[in-house]
Structure 1
C-alpha cells in the first residue's frame, strides 16, 4: 500500500492506537444494535462531501476482518470512487464492470493485505450510476455476495447530493451516517435522516468524525 493510503487505514497500520480502539468500539456498538439478527450488509453514507465516510467505511471493514469475519468492502460510489486508491488496487476491475457483464463477480473481488478482507472497487465510472445501482442485476449481485461473505460494507455517495445511496439502502440491513464535527449542518443531518427514512431501512447509528482531543482525530458513535 502507498504511504498516503496506509495513513487512512489506521486500524491496519496501528491496530492498538486510540483511534483504532474507537473503531472497535463502533463495531461493538453496531453488533449490540442488532437485536433480532446480525447486520450482514451495512451501507455507509453522509449528508455531504468531506465527512470522512470512506475512511470510516474502510476502517470499519478492517476491524470486522480483524475479528475473523470474512468481510467485503464495496465502493458503491460510482461518481467519485476512492476505495481503489485507499487500498492501491485496480479500479477498473470492479462493480460497474460486473454490472455490465465485462467481468465475473468473483474475479472482481480483490484480496487485500488485511486477512479476511476483500474489496470490490467501483470499476470504470459509468454515465448512468443511479440506474446501474438500482438495477435487478445489482440486487442479484448483493444476494450472491451474501452467500460468500459474513459482512458486506458499502461506501456510497453523500445522500443529500445524489440518490445513489437511497437506491442501495433498500437492499441492505442498516445504514451508518457519517458526519463531521464543526462542519456538518444540523439541517443537512435532518435532511439525510428523512431521506433514508423513506427507504424504511434502519439507521444503525451516526459516527461523529473529526472530534479533536489532544490533537488527534477521534470517532464517536451514537445510537439513532
Structure 2
C-alpha cells in the first residue's frame, strides 16, 4: 500500500512538472503555446501578474499554474510562482518544499518576502508557498499589504503567477483579481458544467477581473 501511494505521488509530481521534466512532450508544447498567447492577450499590454483559477476544486489549475510558470522561465524570464490557495495549498508538495514560511507569513508581517521566497530546480523560477493557513485568508489577499507586495514583486520579476482557490469555493480569488493584470480560467472537460463555467466567469467579472482566456483541461482529442 505504501509503495502504491508512493507511485501515485511520483506520477502526480511528474505530471505537475512535465514542462520541466519532459519539455519535448506534446503537453509541454501546448503550455508554451498558451504562454505565448498570454504574453500580449490584453490589447497589447503585457500580462505581468497572472492568476490561474477554476470554477471548482480538482480541475487541475495548480498543474496549469506550475507548467505555465515553468514555460515562462524557460523563455529566459524571471518568474515567481505563488501559492495563494491558503485553504488547499499544493505547490509545496509539487516542489517538495516546506509549506512555511510563505505568503501568509509575509502578509502578516512576520518576515520579509526575501526571507520567505525559495529558489527551485527550474532556472529562473522562484516559489512562494502559502505559509500556514489563516482563517481570514480573503482579507489578507484584499489588504493594502498585498497590494504593496505586488508592487515590490513587479520590480523584481518579469512574471508573477498565482495559483488561487476555485472561484465558486471561496471568496479569496475574487479578493485578489482586481490587483492583477489578468486571469486565466481553467475548465476541465467532462467535469466543468456550462452553468458552473458561466457562474465563475460572472463572479470574476463582477470582482473586476481581466479574464484573458480559458484553458480546456483533460480534453480527449479523439
Normalising by structure 1, we get a TM-score of 0.92
1:45 aligns with 2:45: no
Partner of 2:219: 211
Q: Which whole-Å CA distance do the structure 2 matches of 1:90 and 1:195 have between them?
A: 33
Preserved CA contact (<8 Å) 2:31 2:71: yes
Preserved CA contact (<8 Å) 2:40 2:47: no
- What are the Cα deviations for residues 109-163 of structure 1, in whole angstroms up to 9, with x where unaligned? 1100000000100000112111111111111111111110000000100001111
Picking from 34, 39, 47, the partner of 1:31 is 39
Q: Which runs of 5+ in 2 are unaligned?
A: 1-9
SS of the aligned residue for 1:11 comes to helix
Q: Which whole-Å CA distance do the structure 2 matches of 1:131 and 1:201 have between them?
A: 17
Partner of 1:111: 119
Runs of 4+ in 1 over 3 A off after TM superposition: none
Preserved CA contact (<8 Å) 2:139 2:175: no
Partner of 1:222: none
1:70 aligns with 2:85: no
User: How far is the alpha carbon of 1:35 from its aligned partner?
Assistant: 2.7
1:167 aligns with 2:175: yes
1:7-26 map, 5 Å: 7-26=15-34
SS of the aligned residue for 1:211 comes to coil
Tell me how large the CA RMSD over aligned residues is: 1.5
Question: Greater share of strand residues, 1 or 2?
Answer: 1
Count of residue pairs brought into register by the alignment: 214
Q: Which whole-Å CA distance do the structure 1 matches of 2:204 and 2:12 have between them?
A: 32
Preserved CA contact (<8 Å) 2:15 2:63: no
Q: Which runs of 5+ in 1 are unaligned?
A: 215-224
